[in-house]
Amino acid sequence: MLTIGKLGAQAGVKVPTIRYYEQIGLLPEAGRSAGNQRLYGRKALERLAFIRHARDLGFTLEAIRDLLSLSDNPEQPCVAADAIARAQLAEVERRLARLTALKAELERMVVQCVGGKIADCRVIEVLGDHSLCSTDHRHPESESSP
Amino acid sequence: MLTIGKLGAQAGVKVPTIRYYEQIGLLPEAGRSAGNQRLYGRKALERLAFIRHARDLGFTLEAIRDLLSLSDNPEQPCVAADAIARAQLAEVERRLARLTALKAELERMVVQCVGGKIADCRVIEVLGDHSLCSTDHRHPESESSP
DNA sequence: CTTGAAGCTATAGTTGCTAGAGACATTAGC
DNA sequence: GCTAATGTCTCTAGCAACTATAGCTTCAAG
Ligand SMILES: [Zn+2]
Ligand SMILES: [Zn+2]
Ligand SMILES: [Zn+2]
Ligand SMILES: [Zn+2]
């Protein structure tokens, strides 16, 4: 049996994050010790490691919630899980495309600046005028982190 | 003079976002009409377009705040602005590297799954065990959107 | 047996907006 | 001139996915 701190250390997840996951129902309520401290077993560690890994791969908590409930039914077909993964792949590919364009623009900006006064700075100039950009990098819609 | 709606349409920024930018001090308080409605001139439009463009390029509002205050002093040297742009470029490059690794892992996952039961699903399996991954894609630290 | 680390709850803050409620202003049609 | 439809006003609350703080209690080492 692991305390929350050991569990977090094993899974690479901070203690408040574990409590947060429990609060939003991603982890089941942990059993408690006599002194009211959470205690975890091997299954909880596996589940938390799954969450951590999926987060590392950029899945949202909502997607992870679905993946977890799928993995709780091992006899079901896996098409739904695969669809979630493919959607995540598509999302990553979209971000990749956008970041590639951003990188190109940022490189252009910093390379073109010859380093004088702000009034002549190419960085400031380009930021003020998208028509100076070489690509259409504008923000289409929603994203999030990884 | 533009109302907030026209300004937003011109700059490609939603009305509540403009009010939010004013609230956090990124835009100066706008003048008001007799009926207490905000009115904007050409300078406000330029400033808002600058913000929008910088957001599109992934700069944080904090970075944009600094860039704006730099651009308000046109006689100063531009090294600080260039440093902000280079930091943003570095950030984009870090995200790009990470997303590239994620893409590889996700592709591996979906390709390896032969589509049977959840119990045999490669997607679920890999999510549960990072040692099945081909790269070290783990989340080092902070990120945010672009 | 004492002390310091680790745990507990509950609340609030982060970033960059977005959505809603309910009241006032402006504009278009008749 | 009047009314209805937008547009704008303020204020508050909510989103993701945590992180931080405060003020407790419990546990483990010396
Ligand atoms: Zn410069
Ligand atoms: Zn541009
Ligand atoms: Zn599968
Ligand atoms: Zn992995």
Q: What is the pLDDT of residues A79-109, one digit of tens each?
A: 999 999 999 999 999 999 999 999 999 999 9
Q: Are A57 and B102 in contact (CB under 8 A)?
A: yes
**Domain carrying residue B126:** 79-132
The crossing angle, in degrees rounded to 10, of helices B15-23 and B42-56 is 100
Nucleotide nearest to B36 (CA to C1'): D9
Classify residue B113: in a domain, yes or no: yes
User: Cα of B70 to ligand 2 centre, how many Å?
Assistant: 19
β A31-32/B38-39 pair status: unpaired
Q: What is the pLDDT of residues A122-132, one digit of tens each?
A: 999 999 999 99
Of the pLDDT bands very low, low, confident and very high (cuts 50, 70, 90), residue A145 is very low
pTM here is 0.92
Q: What is the pLDDT of residues B73-115, one digit of tens each?
A: 999 999 999 999 999 999 999 999 999 999 999 999 999 999 8
What's the gap in Å between the CA of B8 and the closest CA on chain A? 15
Q: Are B76 and A118 in contact (CB under 8 A)?
A: yes
Q: CATH number, domain at B15? A: 1.10.1660.10
Classify residue B71: in a domain, yes or no: no
SS3 (DSSP) at B103: helix
Classify residue A140: in a domain, yes or no: no
Please tell me whether any atom of strand C lies within 7 Å of the Cβ of B50: no
Classify residue B73: in a domain, yes or no: no
Residues A51 and A89 in one domain: no
Nearest to A78 among B78, B123, B129 (CB): B123
Q: Report which of B21, B100, B104, B14 is spatially closest to residue A139, judged by C-alpha positions.
A: B14
Task: Decide if B95 and A93 are in contact by the 8 Å CB cutoff.
Answer: no
Residues A55 and A83 in one domain: no
Q: How many domains does chain B have?
A: 2
Classify residue A142: in a domain, yes or no: no
Please tell me whether any atom of strand C lies within 7 Å of the Cβ of B142: no
Q: Is the pLDDT of residue B144 over 50?
A: no
Q: What is the pLDDT of residues B19-33, one digit of tens each?
A: 999 999 999 999 999
Q: Are A54 and A66 in contact (CB under 8 A)?
A: no
Residues A54 and A83 in one domain: no
